[in-house]
């Protein structure tokens, strides 16, 4: 069995003894090199195998962490790209609407008639409706006398009447919009209520 080294002598009686190398190694988590140990061949082989497995596990963990960091980065980049493409597509479809507005604003008011002004407004409306159609936006424009549907309609007024059944639509105040089954804005309507007795 190897002998422990004795701590060096000190001339200061008040100074504590310096710790041994073995204590330093234990406290710091380091150990003597495998070649410095007097071990049987099978024990040495087992330790070397364990050390190799440890090194492989550490390397594998580092690779996994690096792959995860790269995955997070690629995910963020893809999300940003998808968002940019979606916003760009919507904005591009609105550019013709802006062009028609610019054309209308450039007209000489002293030369344009009321009918021409209304035609210009309708052109802008048509271009905007085309843009909404390209993005599969549906208009919610309920027919009067049909039943009120709270999933698509918003009742902003009630009208007490005996001309139609209660909980049916009297008038549409503002159309709504939807994409597939997602409501962008419900249609604002007046709803019939039972007439006052």
Question: Per-residue pLDDT for 124 more than 80?
Answer: yes
Local confidence band at 192 (pLDDT 50, 70, 90 cut-offs): very high
Out of 18-22, 85-89, 150-154, least confident range:
18-22
User: In percent, how much of the chain has pLDDT > 70?
Assistant: 81
Higher pLDDT: 88 or 39? It is: 88
Question: Per-residue pLDDT for 156 more than 90?
Answer: yes
pLDDT value at position 114? 86
Domains, the chain? 137-197 (2.30.22.10)
pLDDT value at position 47? 82
Question: 7-46 pLDDT, tens per residue?
Answer: 444 444 444 444 444 444 444 445 566 666 777 777 778 8
Mean pLDDT of 91-118: 86
The SS3 of residue 142 is: coil
Query: Smallest Cα–Cα separation from 141: which of 66, 61, 149, 133?
Result: 149
Tokens matching residue 162: 């005996």
Where b means 16+ CB within 10 Å and e means fewer, 128-138 reads beebbeeeeee
The SS3 of residue 140 is: strand
pLDDT value at position 31? 57
pLDDT value at position 21? 46
| Ordered alpha helix ranges (H), the chain | 21-28, 41-105, 114-134
Question: Per-residue pLDDT for 185 more than 90?
Answer: yes
pLDDT value at position 160? 93
Mean pLDDT of 149-173: 94
Look up the pTM and report it: 0.58
Local confidence band at 78 (pLDDT 50, 70, 90 cut-offs): very high
Q: Are 156 and 190 in contact (CB under 8 A)?
A: yes
Mean pLDDT of 70-77: 94
């Amino acid at each position: 069995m190897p002998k422990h080294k004795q701590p060096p002598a000190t001339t200061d009686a008040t100074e504590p003894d310096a710790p041994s190398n073995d204590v330093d190694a234990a406290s710091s988590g380091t150990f003597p090199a495998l070649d410095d140990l007097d071990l049987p061949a099978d024990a040495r082989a087992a330790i070397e195998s364990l050390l190799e497995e440890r090194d492989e596990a550490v390397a594998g963990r580092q690779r996994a962490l690096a792959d995860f960091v790269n995955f997070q980065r690629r995910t963020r980049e893809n999300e940003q790209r998808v968002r940019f493409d979606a916003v760009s597509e919507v904005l591009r479809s609105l550019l013709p609407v802006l062009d028609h507005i610019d054309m209308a604003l450039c007209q000489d008011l002293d030369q344009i008639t009321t009918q021409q002004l209304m035609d210009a407004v309708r052109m802008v409306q048509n271009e905007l409706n085309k843009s909404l159609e390209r993005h599969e936006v549906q208009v919610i424009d309920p027919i009067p006398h049909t039943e009120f549907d709270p999933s698509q309609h918003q009742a902003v007024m009630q009208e007490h009447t005996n001309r139609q059944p209660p909980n049916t639509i009297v008038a549409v105040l503002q159309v709504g919009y939807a994409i597939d089954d997602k409501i962008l804005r419900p249609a604002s309507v007046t709803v019939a209520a039972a007439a006052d007795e």
